[in-house]
Structure formats: structure tokens, C-alpha cells
């Protein structure tokens, strides 16, 4: 067993760290406060290859593995969790699905500009009444022979306002229930596609979250991904991989809060010594370090399993559940360590605390992940020994 | 045009500095290494020449296998070839002689080295390379243009600048100003992948033994606690500045 990162993985981690510190840190507080999308920085992420990091070089991507993706997301999330979710939704939801199951024409038309970062992608699954229960799709895609007629509303769509191409899940044949669901590539500029107002959120405020309305949108048959009825299965597979990205985001949020706290506790003194030397603070830091390391092992392992071609559904569920809980718990502690300073924006930890909460909700709530893990246990599919 | 950029593998500027082995060696535990910033300014300018005029860029470092990650970063940024002289860098003359030995086998039109490294701050390597190779030498370079066989460089001086021309081949001592910090490049993902396949040649050192040896390192004394003096008590302030701080 070797816990060492390769030189290439370290190089990716270092490049992402450098990018986050030199390009994302400046202005992160203002972008959060005023809900300003980091468009300039996202363009730069495209040029650096982060926006197509796992897509093969054949389609203009960087051709890297899931561990590289996780390492980059962790570093970016330490500084700007909004930029991280933009990258995560784009890569592991939109691009992954098109590369894995798209036709050659779909790949040429959509995947290449997406992987090069020239266009942004989003994944439209959630609906006002279909969040965790993704099989209850109200959005319909009626088969009209030459095209599908798309009608419905999608909610809480990350990158919803900026995405040029949308991966939309919709019900074609309600009698077949989840087997009647399809996935389509929809262009933002098509007639009948209306992007709703930007959501005013608790955290990840500079990311771009919208509802999207579809009214009699004509979707060409060739824009359906995979065979008829493949949409639900595809959506579930997308979420399996997507969870690794959000797990990495949560890990980065936690690690960012920890690094700020560890530093702050050595420069802030009370009762004649740095607060890091008071046991009350030292124990908090010890627990943070331990929990973050445990989460990191789960996240990296889920990426490793994906890269090895082994089943990783339960591993990504564990990674996401653990990392998001660690992020929530320890960003609260980070604010506590910072005291009054932690409660003001200048010190970053209050933002990380607000950012952390969504990681327990999106791409599968913590409760859904417990169901996934429990089902794996019941099916005897949990790999042992780990 | 063939450019050689000399790369020092130095601790990150935020590293905690400690010494071990009876204060004779730097403690590398937990230290992140980077390209020496002055070398990185030079490398970035070399990349500019590569993109503008098709120059080829080699990078060289005298160091152990640990320095290869730093050379790979230079390759990921865009350098074409890397050379590592397999020796622990001990002093400027040794490093300059090893680079000169490599240059005997490969001719270069322009050699760029940081005017000093941020670890030991010797500031002698580029000058020594110039002396050993007989090439012209311009230090503290904050601007460099090349037309044909002629270089025009801007050198920083106390309170001003000097513009100098020189025929190639030339050695320059690079620093901030040659490019700005905002011009420094983060390796892109494709560059990192390509760096894996680019040649990194390891050559054995030509120098034997070592001419100088570190007897000990010493850190500055830690800063004392701040003393607050009543603004009305000028006599005490003068006494402290005179007797304790010894600055007046």
C-alpha cells in the first residue's frame, strides 16, 4: 500500500494551489457578497485545463484521472468553493456523461468546446417536486417522430445562467416510470428555453444557480443520449461520479478552514500565549486535523477506485457523506476559533461555514447517502477488507 | 536561438527555517520546494522568446533527484529539455563549473540565471558562468529584447536604469521586472502531462570533493516583546533606546 502521490499528481495539486492563491483569493469576499460570477477566473480555469480535466485529449480535454480532478478541486475549494462547484458540475456532470455515452456527433459538437472551457455545461435533473426522488420527473419529452417536445421546469441548476449546453433529464413515457426517462443535450439559445432569476443563496453565492423553464422546446432526436429510456440510469451514474467532486469540494472547504484556523491560532494570543497553546483550541485543531485526514482518505480512495475501473458507488457515497459532515462541523469550529474575527467576512471562515452547508444537500443529501451505503451493505457489495 | 535557464530548487518563501546536524544543515522536513523566483522571472521571459521567435529553451539544475520535480515544473511551463547534474549543490563555484561543463557539450546563445537564489543568497552563479565561458554578462536585468544577434537589456541601478546592448552569446542575471509577477505562468494540465514525456537528462558531475564547507548556520535572535512607554516619559524612552536597543 502506497499513500504517496505521484509527481504528476503533486504537480496538479501545486498548480491548482497556485491558481487559487494568485487568481481566486483576490476578490473572493466581494464576489460572495455581491453574487458576482467568477467568469474571468473560470475562463482561466479553461485555459489551464481544469474545465476538461478528465476528458480525453482527443476531445480537447486534459486526459487526467479522477484523483487529479479531486486534488485540483480540493485546492480550489480551500479558497473559493463557488469556483469549485462551477468546475465540478461542468466536469463530472455534463462532460462525463457526454464522453461516456454521447454519440460521435455529440462529442464533436458539444464535448470539445466544453472540454476546452470555451463553453460551460450544466446538468438539469432536480425539479420543484423531484429532488432526491429523481424518478419522479415532471418534465416531459414527448416523442414527436423527428424530435422531442420538451416541457417543464428544472430547479437549483448549478451553472444554469452561464451554461451554453444543458444536459436535461425528462420523462418520455410515464407508463414505463423510470425506464421511460431520457437524457438530452439542449442548447441554451433554443426557442422555448428560459433561464429564471439567479438564486440568492446562503453559500457558494458567486456560483450561478437558476431555475430553467422549457416550453415546447424542439429537441432533435440526435440530441438524446444513449438508447430510448436510458436517461434515469445515466442520471444515477452521473451522480455516482458527481459525488466525488462534491466530496472533494467539501474536503477543500474543511481543509481551508483548518489551515486558516491553524495559522490564526498561532498569531492570536490570549492570557499571555498563542491560543494554539490553550488546550481548548489545541484539541479543536487536533480533531479538525484528524477528521479532515479521514475524509481525505475516503475521497482519494473513491477517486482511486473510479480510476481503477472498479465499482465506486458506495465509496463515493461514503466520501461525500463524511467529507460534507466534516466540512460543516469544522467550519463552525473554525469560526469559533477565530472568535469575533470569525464572524466577519474579512477572515474567510464565515464564508466557508456558509459554503459547507450545501455539500450536505446537493448531489444527494446526507440522508440519501446513508440509504446508498445501507443498500450496499444489504446486497453484500461493500468491499471488505478495505 | 538556444536559451539555457538555470534553475535553483529552493524552499517556498513561507517555509519555516530550521537547522539540524548541529546547525550545519537546513531541515528539509515538511518543506515545499519551488523554482527560485528570480529564475522563474527568467524562465517566463525565455518562454516569451520561444513563443515569439521559436527559441528553444533548456533548463538546468545542479541537484539531487529531489530537484527533478522542480525541473518537471519548468518543463510543464514549456521548457523543451531539462538537464540535472547529479550532485548536491554546495557553493556557487561548484554549480557554475558544473553548468560550464554542460555548456562545453551544448552551445547556447543566451544563458539566464536568477541574480540570486532566495535560499543562500550568494548571487554569484551567473557571473561565474560568464567568467568561465567568456560570455558577456549583464546583471540585475529588468528588461531584455533580442534582435538577430544583438541583445538590448535594461539593468537596474541605484536610483535609475541603464540600457545596454551586447552581442550574443550573453549571460544575464534575471530579477523581477524582466517580467512581472502577474506574468508568471501556472503550468496547465496538458503541460503537466507533456512534461512527463519530455527529456530530463541526468549527467554526472565533473567536480570532485568540495571546496567550501558549512560550519554552522545561525538564525537571527527572536524579536523581543514590545515595551510600551508612557508618552510623557521621554527620559525612559531615551534610556531604553540607548541602553537596551542600543540604537542611539
**ipTM for the whole complex:** 0.86
Does residue B68 carry a pLDDT above 80?
Answer: yes
Q: Which residues of B touch A11 (CB under 8 A)?
A: 69, 72-73, 76, 187, 192, 195
* Of residues B68, B188, B195, nearest to A47 (C-beta): B188
Alpha carbon B68 to its chain's center: 16
pLDDT at B75: 97
Q: In this complex, is the C-beta atom of B193 within 8 Å of any C-beta atom belonging to chain A?
A: yes
Mutate to test the interface with B, among A8, A11, A26 (most CBs of B within 10 A): A11
Domain A121-231, what architecture?
A: Beta Barrel (2.40)
Q: Is A68 in contact with B189 (Cβ distance < 8 A)?
A: yes
**What are the domain boundaries of chain A?**
7-115, 121-231, 238-378
Q: Is B196 in contact with A63 (Cβ distance < 8 A)?
A: no
- B167: number of Cβ within 10 Å: 11
Residue B90's contacts (CB-CB under 8 Å, 6 or more residues apart) are B210, B211, B212, B213
Q: Count CA atoms closer than 13 A to A62's CA, side-chain side.
A: 29
Q: Beta B110-114 vs B170-174: how paired, if at all?
A: parallel
Domain A7-115 in CATH: superfamily? Acyl-CoA dehydrogenase/oxidase, N-terminal domain (1.10.540.10)
CA distance B11 to A75: 20
pLDDT at A359: 98
Does CATH number 3.40.50.2000 belong to domain A238-378? no
Q: Is A14 in contact with B73 (Cβ distance < 8 A)?
A: yes
Q: Beta A165-171 vs A147-158: how paired, if at all?
A: unpaired
Does residue A386 carry a pLDDT above 70?
Answer: no
**What are the domain boundaries of chain B?**
2-220
Active site residues of A: 363
User: Which among B56, B58, B34, B42 has a CA at the least distance from the CA of B141?
Assistant: B42
Q: For all residues of chain A together, what is the average pLDDT?
A: 95
Mean pLDDT of B17-24: 90
Q: Is A22 in contact with B72 (Cβ distance < 8 A)?
A: no
Query: In this structure, what C-alpha cell is assigned to residue B186?
Result: 501556472
Q: Is A63 in contact with B193 (Cβ distance < 8 A)?
A: yes
pLDDT at B119: 86
Does residue A385 carry a pLDDT above 70?
Answer: no
Q: In this complex, is the C-beta atom of B195 within 8 Å of any C-beta atom belonging to chain A?
A: yes
* CATH annotation of B2-220: 3.40.50.620
Mutate to test the interface with A, among B76, B189, B225 (most CBs of A within 10 A): B189
Asked if A359 and A323 touch (Cβ cutoff 8 Å), the reply is yes
b/e per residue, B104-140, with b = 16+ CB within 10 A?
eeeebbbbbbbbbbbbbeebbbbbbbbebbebbbbbb
Q: Residue A65 gets which letter from DSSP? A: -
Does residue A383 carry a pLDDT above 70?
Answer: no
* Of residues A7, A15, A49, nearest to B69 (C-beta): A7
* A71 φ/ψ sector (left φ>0, alpha ψ -120 to 50, else beta): alpha
CA distance A335 to A343: 6
Per residue in B134-183, pLDDT (tens digit) is 999 999 999 999 999 999 999 998 889 999 999 999 999 999 999 999 99
For chain B, the farthest-separated pair of C-alpha atoms sits apart, in whole angstroms, at 72
Amino acid at each position: 500500500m502506497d499513500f504517496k502521490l505521484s509527481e504528476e499528481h503533486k504537480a496538479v495539486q501545486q498548480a491548482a494551489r497556485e491558481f487559487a492563491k494568485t487568481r481566486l483569493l483576490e476578490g473572493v469576499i466581494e464576489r460572495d457578497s455581491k453574487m458576482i460570477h467568477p467568469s474571468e477566473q473560470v475562463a482561466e480555469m479553461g485555459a489551464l485545463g481544469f474545465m476538461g480535466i478528465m476528458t480525453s485529449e482527443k476531445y480537447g480535454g486534459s486526459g487526467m484521472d479522477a484523483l487529479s480532478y479531486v486534488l485540483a478541486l480540493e485546492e480550489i475549494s480551500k479558497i473559493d468553493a463557488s469556483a469549485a462547484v462551477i468546475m465540478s458540475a461542468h466536469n463530472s456532470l455534463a462532460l462525463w456523461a457526454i464522453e461516456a455515452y454521447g454519440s460521435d456527433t455529440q462529442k464533436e459538437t458539444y464535448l470539445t468546446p466544453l472540454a476546452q472551457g470555451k463553453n460551460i455545461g450544466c446538468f438539469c435533473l432536480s425539479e420543484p417536486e423531484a429532488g432526491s426522488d429523481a424518478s419522479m420527473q415532471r418534465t416531459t419529452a414527448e416523442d414527436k417522430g423527428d424530435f422531442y417536445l420538451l416541457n417543464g421546469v428544472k430547479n437549483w441548476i448549478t451553472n444554469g445562467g452561464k451554461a451554453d449546453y444543458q444536459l436535461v433529464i425528462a420523462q418520455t413515457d410515464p407508463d414505463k416510470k423510470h425506464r421511460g426517462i431520457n437524457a438530452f443535450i439542449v442548447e441554451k439559445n433554443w426557442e422555448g428555453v428560459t433561464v429564471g432569476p439567479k438564486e440568492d443563496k446562503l453559500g457558494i453565492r458567486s456560483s450561478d444557480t437558476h431555475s430553467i423553464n422549457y416550453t415546447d422546446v424542439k429537441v432533435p432526436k440526435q440530441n438524446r443520449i444513449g438508447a430510448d429510456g436510458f436517461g434515469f440510469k445515466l442520471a444515477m451514474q452521473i451522480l455516482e461520479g458527481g459525488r466525488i467532486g462534491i466530496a472533494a469540494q467539501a474536503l477543500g472547504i474543511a481543509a481551508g478552514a483548518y489551515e486558516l484556523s491553524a495559522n490564526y491560532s498561532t498569531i492570536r494570543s490570549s492570557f499571555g500565549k498563542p491560543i494554539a497553546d490553550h488546550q481548548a483550541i489545541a484539541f479543536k485543531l487536533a480533531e479538525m486535523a484528524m477528521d479532515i485526514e479521514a475524509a481525505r482518505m475516503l475521497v482519494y480512495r473513491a477517486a482511486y477506485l473510479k480510476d481503477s475501473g472498479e465499482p465506486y458507488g458506495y465509496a463515493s457515497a461514503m466520501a461525500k457523506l463524511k467529507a460534507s459532515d466534516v466540512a460543516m462541523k469544522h467550519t463552525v469550529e473554525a469560526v469559533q476559533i477565530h472568535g469575533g474575527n470569525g464572524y466577519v467576512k474579512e477572515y474567510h471562515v464565515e464564508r466557508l461555514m456558509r459554503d459547507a452547508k450545501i455539500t450536505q444537500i446537493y448531489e444527494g443529501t446526507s440522508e440519501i447517502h446513508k440509504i446508498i451505503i445501507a443498500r450496499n451493505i444489504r446486497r453484500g457489495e461493500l468491499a471488505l477488507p478495505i | 536561438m538556444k536559451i539555457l535557464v538555470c534553475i535553483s530548487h529552493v524552499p517556498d518563501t513561507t517555509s519555516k527555517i530550521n537547522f539540524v546536524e548541529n546547525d550545519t544543515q537546513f531541515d528539509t522536513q515538511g518543506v515545499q520546494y519551488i523554482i527560485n523566483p528570480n529564475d522563474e522571472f527568467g524562465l517566463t521571459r525565455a518562454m516569451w522568446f520561444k513563443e515569439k521567435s521559436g527559441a528553444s529553451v533548456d533548463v538546468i539544475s545542479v541537484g539531487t533527484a529531489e530537484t527533478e520535480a522542480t525541473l518537471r515544473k519548468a518543463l510543464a511551463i514549456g521548457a523543451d529539455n531539462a538537464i540535472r547534474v547529479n550532485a548536491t549543490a554546495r557553493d556557487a563555484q561548484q554549480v557554475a563549473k558544473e553548468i560550464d561543463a554542460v555548456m562545453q557539450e551544448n552551445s547556447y546563445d543566451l544563458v539566464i540565471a536568477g541574480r540570486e537564489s532566495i535560499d543562500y543568497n550568494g548571487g554569484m552563479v551567473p557571473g561565474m558562468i560568464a567568467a568561465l565561458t567568456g560570455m558577456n554578462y549583464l546583471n540585475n536585468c529588468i528588461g531584455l529584447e533580442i534582435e538577430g544577434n544583438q541583445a538590448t537589456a535594461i539593468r537596474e541601478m541605484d536610483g535609475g536604469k541603464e540600457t545596454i546592448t551586447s552581442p550574443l552569446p550573453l549571460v544575464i542575471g534575471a530579477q523581477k521586472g524582466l517580467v512581472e509577477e502577474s506574468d508568471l505562468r501556472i503550468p496547465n494540465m496538458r503541460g503537466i502531462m507533456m512534461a512527463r514525456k519530455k527529456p530530463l537528462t541526468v549527467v554526472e558531475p565533473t567536480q570532485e570533493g568540495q571546496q567550501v564547507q558549512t560550519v554552522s548556520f545561525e538564525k537571527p535572535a527572536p524579536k523581543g516583546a514590545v515595551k510600551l512607554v508612557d508618552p510623557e516619559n521621554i527620559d525612559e524612552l531615551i534610556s531604553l533606546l540607548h541602553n537596551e536597543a542600543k540604537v542611539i
